[in-house]
Amino acid sequence: MTKLKLGPIENDKPVKVTLELPAPLFRDLEIYGRLLADGSQKPIEPVKLIVPMLERFVATDRGFAKARRGATGQTAPKAPPSS
């Protein structure tokens, strides 16, 4: 069984996080934002991609979902619809 150090987090308010990204990853996010815009709109800023990418990653990680169900008895949330 997976034992996590943190328990449930009660506060659902958005949390501001500051992080440094490696330059190659930032460039990849810029490219991703341009590809996502598909030339029909202004490219999406890299910072706006991070939350949806992390949400999608966590929602589709089967190992995490299994460990989470085992720890809490909850079902994992469904992946957000792709846009």
Residue 2 lies in a domain: no
Number of domains the chain contains:
1
Residue 81 lies in a domain: no
> What is the tens place of the pLDDT at every residue in 13-72?
888 999 999 999 999 999 999 898 877 789 889 998 988 898 888 888 889 888 988 877
Give one DSSP letter per residue of the chain, joined into a string.
----S-------S---------HHHHHHHHHHHHHHHTTSSPPPPHHHHHHHHHHHHHHH-HHHHHHHHHHHSPPPPPPPPP-
Segments forming the whole domain that contains residue 33: 23-71
Is residue 26 within 8 A of residue 17, CB to CB? The reply is no
pLDDT at 76 over 60: no
Could you give the CA distance from residue 83 to residue 76 in angstroms, rounded to a whole number?
21
Residue 14 lies in a domain: no
* Residue given tokens 């929602």 in the structure block: 59
Higher pLDDT, 31 or 12: 31
The reported pLDDT for the residue numbered 39 is 75
Could you give the CA distance from residue 79 to residue 77 in angstroms, rounded to a whole number?
7
Residue 44 lies in a domain: yes
The reported pLDDT for the residue numbered 1 is 44
Residue 11 lies in a domain: no
